[in-house]
């Protein structure tokens, strides 16, 4: 971060659904440099458990931050589960 702009951002997420099945995700911000409060990212599905076992593909999402809260929406991508 410098002067309110992000120059690099990425991370790893573990998503768990209501059944307890999980997906492991790797993401990287795509609109850099860009305003910290309006992130656009591309991610990769790394692995999953239960109904998501063997998941492969990618996704894009965008976030808008308001203070400590973020509203994120999936904007595209595709995946397959064997």
Closest among 29, 8, 18, 23 to 72, alpha carbons compared: 29
pLDDT in tens, 1-12: 777 777 878 889
Residue 70's pLDDT band, with cuts at 50, 70 and 90, is confident
Tell whether 81 is covered by a domain.
no
In a domain, 80, yes or no: no
Measured distance CA(14)–CA(3) in Å, rounded? 30
Is the pTM here over 0.85, yes or no? no
Question: Is the residue at 82 inside a domain?
Answer: no
CB 47 within 8 A of CB 26: no
- Enclosing domain of residue 52: 5-75
The count of structural domains within the chain is 1
């Amino acid at each position: 971060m410098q002067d309110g702009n992000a120059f690099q951002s990425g991370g790893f997420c573990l998503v768990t659904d209501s059944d307890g099945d999980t997906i492991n995700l790797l993401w990287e911000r795509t609109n850099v440099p860009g305003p910290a409060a309006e992130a656009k990212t591309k991610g990769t599905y790394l692995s999953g458990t239960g109904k998501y076992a063997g998941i492969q593909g990618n996704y894009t999402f965008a976030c808008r931050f308001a203070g400590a809260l973020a509203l994120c929406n999936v904007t595209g991508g595709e995946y397959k589960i064997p």
